[in-house]
Amino acid sequence: GAVVSQHPSRVICKSGTSVKIECRSLDFQATTMFWYRQFPKQSLMLMATSNEGSKATYEQGVEKDKFLINHASLTLSTLTVTSAHPEDSSFYICSALLPGTGEKEAFFGQGTRLTVV
Amino acid sequence: AQKITQTQPGMFVQEKEAVTLDCTYDTSDQSYGLFWYKQPSSGEMIFLIYQGSYDEQNATEGRYSLNFQKARKSANLVISASQLGDSAMYFCAMREDPFSNDYKLSFGAGTTVTVRA
């Protein structure tokens, strides 16, 4: 299957700093990528849809200025958590839509566990 | 309203036995897709199986099969011959109107499966 790589897998940062998470499609071009947030033992919550060459579409309740998404190329989308606070600690996971699969599956990255101290 | 309902927060199954994970969904669309994903403790989301709303046959992928009952709006996952490596969290997800460009997956709360030796 298609490979999506997410980096870093774990990150610890100080409160007030910014953290960038990368999501790469390694063997295909993804015009659309998605960013999710997951709290322990809970479901995935869609944060935003990232489209190459255009602004991301954020879900209701997600702060655009807090979670900056950039999809500058067909293989890379980044999520930057700005001025991170302990409540931003969570598991963040991206997915990329494989073109030509219609309604078939999206492929997920390995996820990033963010801890803000 | 919740689109995907998984009523079993946790299940135990004996190795080599089969287990059924329940999933019901709510949509007014005629065309939609249903997915099951596996999330081990490492965090990555692994695609297991897909069922389209117009598919007449129940989907099967190796030891995974989907018991699709459209009238009841249920899409239960059956894992046959459980293995220790099947221990993970399992998510049911739905994509409504798959022919739109808005590929959004709605996830259920998940079911944690523990396989006992």
Which residues of A make CB contacts under 8 Å with B? 1, 32, 34, 41-46, 49, 91, 93, 95, 97, 102-111, 113
Q: Residue B102: what pLDDT?
A: 62
Average pLDDT in the A25-38 region? 90
Mark residue A89 as left, alpha or beta (left: phi above 0; alpha: psi -120 to 50; beta: remaining): beta
Q: How confident is the model at residue A41 (pLDDT cuts 50, 70, 90)?
A: confident
Q: How far is A63 from A68, CA to CA, in rounded Å?
A: 9
Q: How far is A4 from A24, CA to CA, in rounded Å?
A: 6
Tokens of B10: 């946790």
Give A34→chain B minimum CA distance, Å: 9
- Nearest by CB: A93 against B45, B52, B104: B45
pLDDT of residue B100 exceeding 90, the answer is: no
pLDDT of residue B101 exceeding 80, the answer is: no
Cβ-defined contact of A108 to B42 (cutoff 8 Å):
no
Buried b vs exposed e over B47-72: b needs ≥16 C-beta within 10 Å?
A: bbbbbbbeeeeebeeeebbbbbeeee
Q: How far is A94 from A47, CA to CA, in rounded Å?
A: 10
pLDDT in tens, A72-81: 888 999 999 9
Cβ-defined contact of A110 to B42 (cutoff 8 Å):
yes
Average pLDDT in the A3-19 region? 96
Cβ-defined contact of B105 to A46 (cutoff 8 Å):
yes
- Nearest by CB: B35 against A102, A105, A109: A105
Q: How confident is the model at residue A54 (pLDDT cuts 50, 70, 90)?
A: confident
Average pLDDT in the A84-107 region? 83
Q: Residue A27: what pLDDT?
A: 87
Q: How confident is the model at residue A8 (pLDDT cuts 50, 70, 90)?
A: very high
- Nearest by CB: A43 against B47, B98, B109: B109
Contacts of B52 in chain A (CB under 8 A): 103
Q: Residue A98: what pLDDT?
A: 78
Cβ-defined contact of B103 to A32 (cutoff 8 Å):
yes
Q: What percent of chain A has pLDDT over 70?
A: 94
pLDDT in tens, B59-73: 999 999 999 999 999
pLDDT of residue B43 exceeding 60, the answer is: yes
Collect all residues with Cβ–Cβ distance below 8 Å to A55 and sequence separation of at least 6: none
Contacts of B47 in chain A (CB under 8 A): 1, 105-108
Q: What percent of chain B has pLDDT over 70?
A: 92
**What average pLDDT does the structure give for chain A?**
91
